[in-house]
């Protein structure tokens, strides 16, 4: 699905529009994750970022990720191990 937003041009002066669009998607995903509307995985998919980038953004914006179920933590660890072992 494609969503169109009308944003005044003066917010883009000297800024890359594609980079700004990515930032808006990330901020929306962060807010929806924080409010419980999206899981971590869904928020990553929504924002188009890897889990590690999303977790870093959570840290930068002081969004807690520790109140997650044990099975979600285990799944993250498993995914990490699969990506980093040969």
pLDDT higher than threshold 70 for residue 86:
no
DSSP annotation of 14: T
Q: Do the beta carbons of residue 24 and residue 57 sit within 8 Å?
A: no
Reported as a single tens digit per residue, the pLDDT across 26-55 is 999 999 999 999 998 999 999 999 999 999
**pLDDT at position 30:** 97
Q: What is the DSSP string of 51-78?
A: HHHHHHHHHHTT----SS-HHHHHHHHH
Task: Compute the average pLDDT of residues 17-30.
Answer: 93
**pLDDT at position 22:** 92
Reported as a single tens digit per residue, the pLDDT across 59-74 is 999 998 877 677 877 7
Task: Give the predicted TM-score (pTM) of the model.
Answer: 0.71
Q: Where are the domains of the chain?
A: 16-84
pLDDT higher than threshold 90 for residue 75:
no
């Amino acid at each position: 699905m494609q969503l169109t937003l009308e944003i005044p041009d003066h917010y883009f002066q000297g800024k890359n529009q594609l980079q700004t669009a990515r930032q808006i998607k990330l901020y929306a995903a962060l807010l929806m994750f924080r409010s419980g509307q999206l899981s971590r995985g869904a928020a990553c998919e929504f924002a188009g970022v890897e889990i590690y980038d999303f977790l870093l953004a959570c840290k930068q914006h002081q969004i807690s990720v520790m109140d997650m179920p044990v099975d979600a933590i285990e799944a993250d660890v498993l995914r990490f191990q699969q990506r980093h072992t040969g």
